[in-house]
Amino acid sequence: MATVDRYQYLLLMAGCLLVTLPLEFVFGARVWRRPRRLLFALVPTVILFAVWDIAAIARGHWSFDPRYVTGRQLPGNLPVEELTFFIVIPICGLLTLEAVRRILERAR
């Protein structure tokens, strides 16, 4: 159980991607299918939030329970889970935005 626990954060992120996947293929969000535009949205966002995160970790604003993370870290003591968060959550947001747009268009 302890080993599974260390993947809690990563599994939660995987769950987010899985749950939002129908937005792309059922609601026609077309986010995954526009990879260049997606990258344009993600890269600056990920950089800004990674910098913020590294600073916040260095200042001790927050920390991570070693029981629930893999322990793999990027430069700046940034857990890989955090980087995953900054990629996954915006993707979920974009899928939601585009799905809402498709629904509003259809309702018109």
Partner 1 sequence: MWEYTAAAVVVVAAVVLFELRVLRTGLLGTRAYWIALAICYVFMIAVNGWLTKLTAPVVLYDADATTGWRFPWDIPVEDYLFGFALLTLAMLLWDAAAPRQREVADAKVTNVTVSSSPREPARGAPS
* Site residues for partner 1 per CB under 8 A: 8-9, 12, 16, 19, 30, 34, 36-38, 40-42, 44-45, 48-49, 52, 56, 59-65, 68-69, 86, 89-90, 92-94, 96-97, 99-101, 104-105
Collapse the DSSP code of 5 into the 3-class scheme (helix H, G, I; strand E, B; otherwise coil) and give the result: helix
| Amino acid letter, residue 65 | D
Q: Give the nearer residue to partner 1 in terms of CB position, either 24 or 49.
A: 49
| Amino acid letter, residue 4 | V
CB 86 within 8 A of CB 50: yes
Residue 15 has a CB neighbour count (10 Å cut-off) of 11
| Amino acid letter, residue 32 | W
Shortest distance (Å) from residue 75 CB to partner 1: 20
Shortest distance (Å) from residue 4 CB to partner 1: 13
Q: Give the nearer residue to partner 1 in terms of CB position, either 45 or 75.
A: 45
Q: Give the nearer residue to partner 1 in terms of CB position, either 75 or 99.
A: 99
Shortest distance (Å) from residue 6 CB to partner 1: 10
- For 8, residues 6+ apart whose C-beta sits below 8 A from its C-beta are 68, 69
Half-sphere exposure of 93 (CA within 13 A, CB side): 10
Q: Give the nearer residue to partner 1 in terms of CB position, either 75 or 104.
A: 104
